[in-house]
Amino acid sequence: MKRLSDIKFSTLDLVPVRENGSAAQSLRNSLDLAQHVEKFGYNRFWVAEHHNMDGIASSATSVLLGYLAGGTSTIRVGSGGVMLPNHAPLVIAEQFGTLESLYPGRIDLGLGRAPGSDQMTARALRRERSGSADDFPQDVAELMRYLGPRTPDQRIIAMPGTGTNVPVWLLGSSLFSAQLAGERGLPYAFASHFAPRFMHEAIRVYRNHFKPSAVLDKPYVMLGVPLVAADTDEQADYLATSVYQRILALMRGQSLVQRPPVKTMDGLWLPHEREAVSDFLGLAMVGSPQKIRAKLDVLVEQTQADELIFTCDLYEHADRLRSYELLAQVMKG
At residue 249, the pLDDT reads: 95
Is the residue at 147 inside a domain?
Answer: yes
pTM, two decimals, is 0.94
Task: Name the 3-class secondary structure at 291.
Answer: helix
Is the residue at 275 inside a domain?
Answer: no
CA–CA dist 126, 132 (Å, integer): 10
Is the residue at 270 inside a domain?
Answer: no
Indicate the number of domains in the chain: 1
CATH number at residue 314: 3.20.20.30
CA–CA dist 183, 137 (Å, integer): 11
The H-or-E segment that residue 226 falls in is strand 221-229
pLDDT tens digits for range 209-247: 999 999 999 999 999 999 999 999 999 999 999 999 999
pLDDT tens digits for range 111-140: 998 765 566 776 776 655 555 557 899 999
Range of the domain at 40: 4-228+296-331
Is the residue at 259 inside a domain?
Answer: no
Task: Name the 3-class secondary structure at 284.
Answer: coil
At residue 132, the pLDDT reads: 59
Average pLDDT of span 261-277: 95
Is the residue at 11 inside a domain?
Answer: yes
Q: Phi-psi region for residue 20, left (φ > 0), alpha (ψ -120 to 50) or beta?
A: left
CB 49 within 8 A of CB 59: yes
CA–CA dist 283, 311 (Å, integer): 11
Average pLDDT of span 283-297: 97
Is the residue at 306 inside a domain?
Answer: yes
Query: Residue 1's pLDDT band (boundaries 50, 70, 90)?
Result: confident
- Examine the pLDDT at 192 and tell me if it is beyond 80: yes
Is the residue at 257 inside a domain?
Answer: no
CA–CA dist 123, 246 (Å, integer): 26
131-148 in b/e form (b: 16+ CB < 10 A) is beeeebeebbebbbbbbb
Instruction: For residue 78, list its beta bridge partners.
Output: 46, 108
Average pLDDT of the chain, as a whole number: 93
Is the residue at 253 inside a domain?
Answer: no
